[in-house]
Amino acid sequence: MHVPDGFINAPVSVAAGVVAAGAVAVSLRGARRELDERTAPLAGLVAAFVFAVQMLNFPVAAGTSGHLLGGALAAILVGPWTGVLCIAVVLLMQGILFADGGLTALGVNITVMGVVTVVVAYALFRGLVLVLPRTRASVTAASFVAALVSVPAAAAVFTALYALGGTTDVPVSKVLTAMVGVHVLIGVGEAVITMLTVGAVIAVRPDLVHGARGLTAPLKLRVGGELVDAAPAGAPAAPAGSPKKLWIGGVVTALVLAGFVSFYASASPDGLEKVAADKGIDSKVEDHAAADSPLADYGVKGIETARLSGGLAGAIGVGATLAVGTGAFWTVRRRRTRTDLPTHAETAA
């Protein structure tokens, strides 16, 4: 659902950019409470994984494909504030390096694919977790529903932006019907990918899944006059230590998906591209400012072999997104650490 330049006029694009910038600013503050020394590197991994899986377009209807948006997955794994930042990093890297999603439409894309999907998915996810039994199965089921709903919700918001600032005269009702219809189907794929990924991480390190925290209330024991947590009888000890194995496994998986599996992805246009072509809302699309990038269209310029070119571009994208995301999240984490340090006056007191 990467919106190119020319779909939405300048005033609405600027307004969406302001919304996106505000959301990122607020998320930077909120992410300080979500990130710690273990989850900061995992947030970078989530961004890289979303980048990789977005390269895997899957068929949803005749001549139409879809791909992961990733807002629900990121929010459930690392938290909603950090989730917005993850998707923003992915969209920034795609726009600058791969000419995917317009640069003047970056605010529109962050708002639609990042903010809307995260807010809708995480609100629904938390509501379901509260009413369902507090089990791992409930978390994975809630992640499926949240991801499913988030995709047509994003399509509806795009249609609202088109209604406000679309550069063509296609009736909004036709755009809404087509966008929501196809993105319901895409949402099913998004839901399956999100559920499987969340379930896989919970099976290995449930303590690192933001949305799975506090699944069970720990037994309380009174020791020395104070209440302390005690593991239930027969329950395995919670995983401890560095999540290094999970990080390495995630990086390898992302590289394999982007560098190899992506070659077998559907070549059909995605939901937005298909609707735009069918309804004529792409008649004023503009050339991408980074169209001459050596990685434009997810290929390495100068390499003629399609498999090698696409695979190398995917691997570069995963590495770049991982580096930028991890660096950003470590910086946010360090700012939290400095903020939490006592001031000189507090120490003296």
For residues 233-237, average pLDDT? 45
Q: Looking at residue 224, what is its pLDDT?
A: 58
Class of domain 10-216+241-338: mainly alpha
Q: How sure is the predictor about 341, in pLDDT bands with cuts at 50, 70 and 90?
A: very low
In the chain, alpha helices (H) = 10-34, 39-54, 71-78, 80-98, 106-109, 117-131, 136-165, 172-204, 244-259, 271-279, 306-340, 344-348
Confidence bin at 333 (pLDDT 50/70/90): confident
pLDDT tens, position by position, 136-190: 999 999 999 999 999 999 999 999 999 999 999 999 999 999 999 999 999 999 9
What residue ranges do the domains of the chain occupy?
10-216+241-338
Q: What is the mean pLDDT of the chain?
A: 90
**Structure confidence at residue 239 (pLDDT):** 53
> Residue 172 has which token pair?
């909004």
- Whole-number Å distance between alpha carbons of 161 and 14: 12
pLDDT at position 339: 55
In this model, does residue 303 exceed pLDDT 70?
Answer: yes
Neighbours of 129 (CB within 10 A): 22
Determine the pLDDT at residue 2.
95
pLDDT band, residue 17 (cuts 50/70/90): very high
Judge contact between 194 and 149, C-beta under 8 A: no
pLDDT above 90: percentage of residues in the chain: 80
- Answer left, alpha or beta for residue 306, where phi above 0 means left and psi between -120 and 50 means alpha: alpha
Whole-angstrom Cα distance, residue 158 to residue 13?
11
Judge contact between 91 and 109, C-beta under 8 A: yes
Residue 232's pLDDT is 47
> What pLDDT is recorded for position 235?
44
Q: What is the mean pLDDT of residues 311-336?
A: 92
Closest by alpha carbon to 291, among 106, 107, 101?
101
Q: What is the rounded average pLDDT of the residues 314-326?
A: 97
Q: How confident is the model at residue 234 (pLDDT cuts 50, 70, 90)?
A: very low
Average pLDDT for residues 43-71, to the nearest whole number? 95
Q: What is the pLDDT of residue 50?
A: 98
